[in-house]
Amino acid sequence: MLTALIGFAVLLLLCFFGMRVGFATLIVGFGGYAMLRGFDASLAMVGQQVFHDSMNYNLSVIPLFILMGVLIVHAQISQDLYDAAYSALGRFRGGLALATVLAAGGFSAVCGSTLATAATMAKVAMPSMQDYKYSRRLSSGTIAAGGTLGIMIPPSVPLVIYGLIAEQDIGLLFIAGVLPGLLLVFLFMVCVGIVVRRDPTAAPLAPPLDPERRKAAIRGTLPVLFLFLLVLGGIYTGAFTATEAAGIGSFGAACIALLRGKLRKLEEWRLCLVDATTTTATIFIVLLGAIVFAQFINLSGMPYDLLDFVDAWDLSAIELVIFICIIAILMGMVFEAIGILVLLVPVFLPALLINGVDMIWFGILVVLVSEIGLITPPIGMNVFVVKSVLPEVPLGKIFRGVVPYILALFVGLVLVLAFPQIATFLPSLMR
């Protein structure tokens, strides 16, 4: 256990000094394994693990869904989604903020990236909210929080990675994320309602959308809605696997982009493919580094020491899950969602399995906790993304703006903890 704790301490130190999580986990995992088994054994282990896991067919779902998200972003459907949401909610006070939450949820459903959602909605929604004198705290906080929906509403890269680490069905995880994702959208909209009720000046009433613009927005969102239903519906009915759904989704996203007049030049295709490849490579470095680090942790005996800890403290399954969630919340203040998954799940996996924890339910919980970390100080990656797009908005104002949404995420976490059926009901219909 002591060797593993030293490894974690070195890992944290390297991350604090600016080293990327993927390289830090690879270096610490290789070094720790070498200390326990020797340099040659460590070198052989790294080579075998990287080769074996990079050949895993299930990993192909990651670049395909990333490509789907990149193509959807390039199709520039975000403005239509925002206009369609505003046409439905604009008559309410705070309608622009409500539309931002709803549009962020819709964009997340086909994009799958929190950072892309936050950056895109900052460009789309902020000008309108500024024009109608919305408070910067409400507008920037809503945009940053809305972006977190990207890792819960499927397709979600963190859910894919969790499925690979915990050896769970990715299709079931996607379906399990639907109801919690809708719950979070509802809670965020409730937050907007509470904020504008307490301070009506934060969200002045805005005029209704022009009828022609509303019709165009609705027409523009129909292909995306159809693609989302096709991808999830195919997985739910068993018509195709998650990997096949990713391929179909990428093809559909390309068709939507072409219909909207995009991707007509080779340069546009090159930019999309380079963007998707760069993002995929970044994720794979983190994933492969974490696999090497997990081998070191397993060799150190830490997972089995944790089993003894759980037995000694006589923790029930729910108490163990709450304990892990607390650790994940603390880690979320430093690491991004993928970093939390690849560091935390392998360590506690044996204890979770022995205690009979539903791993689909736990996957939703750990991703939900990761959402909290995306807008929680001191890192709050989504907050910094919004700040980079909106440099005129003070960082402190954005962090104050996300506080109600952090509370909403905690409410969502408690609800999913108390009522596991929120995450397990839809998957149970497929099993």
Average pLDDT over residues 304-315: 71
Q: Is residue 310 pLDDT above 70, yes or no? A: no
Token digits of residue 211: 């009828």
- Written as six digits, the tokens of 352 are 């979770």
pLDDT digits (tens, 9 = 90+) for 124-167: 888 888 888 888 899 999 998 988 887 888 878 888 888 888 88
Asked if 289 contacts 21 with a C-beta cutoff of 8 angstroms, the reply is yes
Q: Is omega for the bond preceding 180 within 30 degrees of 0, making it cis?
A: no
Q: Which SS3 state, helix, strand or coil, does residue 335 take?
A: coil
For tokens 């002591």, the residue is 2
Give the pLDDT score at 412: 94
Most confidently modeled of 11-15, 301-305, 323-327, 424-428?
424-428
Q: How confident is the model at residue 231 (pLDDT cuts 50, 70, 90)?
A: confident
The C-alpha atoms of residue 302 and residue 347 are separated, in whole angstroms, by 7
Please tell me the pTM assigned to this model. Answer: 0.83
Contact 349, 162 (CB under 8 A): no
* Helices then strands, each counted (H, E), the chain: 21, 0
Question: pLDDT (tens digit, 9 = 90+) per residue, 25-82?
Answer: 889 889 988 988 888 888 898 888 888 877 777 778 888 888 888 888 788 787 788 8
Closest to 430 in 3D by CA, of 248, 169, 230, 162: 169
Mean pLDDT is highest, among 110-124, 365-379, 411-425, for: 411-425
Which DSSP string do the residues of 251-310 spell out, in sequence order? HHHHHHHHHTT-S-SHHHHHHHHHHHHHHHHHHHHHHHHHHHHHHHHHHHTHHHHHHHHH
Token pair, residue 101, equals 């939450």
Beta carbons within 8 Å of 185's beta carbon, 6+ residues apart: 101, 102, 105, 149
CA distances from 108 to 96, 112, 153 (A): 18, 5, 6
CB 389 within 8 A of CB 119: yes
**Rounded distance between C-alpha atoms, residue 287 and residue 272, angstroms:** 22
Contacts of 39 (CB under 8 A, 6+ apart): none
CA-to-CA dists, residue 209 to 188, 217, 267, 313, angstroms:
23, 10, 35, 59
Tokens of 6: 């030293």
3-state helix, strand, coil in the chain (%, to 5): 80, 0, 20
What are the extents of the domains in the chain?
59-430
Residue (of 361, 365, 301, 288) closest to 332 by Cα position? 365
DSSP, residue by residue, 347-391:
HHHHHHHHTT--HHHHHHHHHHHHHHHHTSTTT-HHHHHHHHH-T
- Given phi > 0 = left and psi -120 to 50 = alpha, else beta, which region is 238? left
Q: Report whether pLDDT(423) > 90.
A: yes
Q: Which residues contact 43 (CB under 8 A, 6 or more apart)?
A: 30, 34
Count the Cβ atoms, other than its own, within 10 Å of residue 251: 15
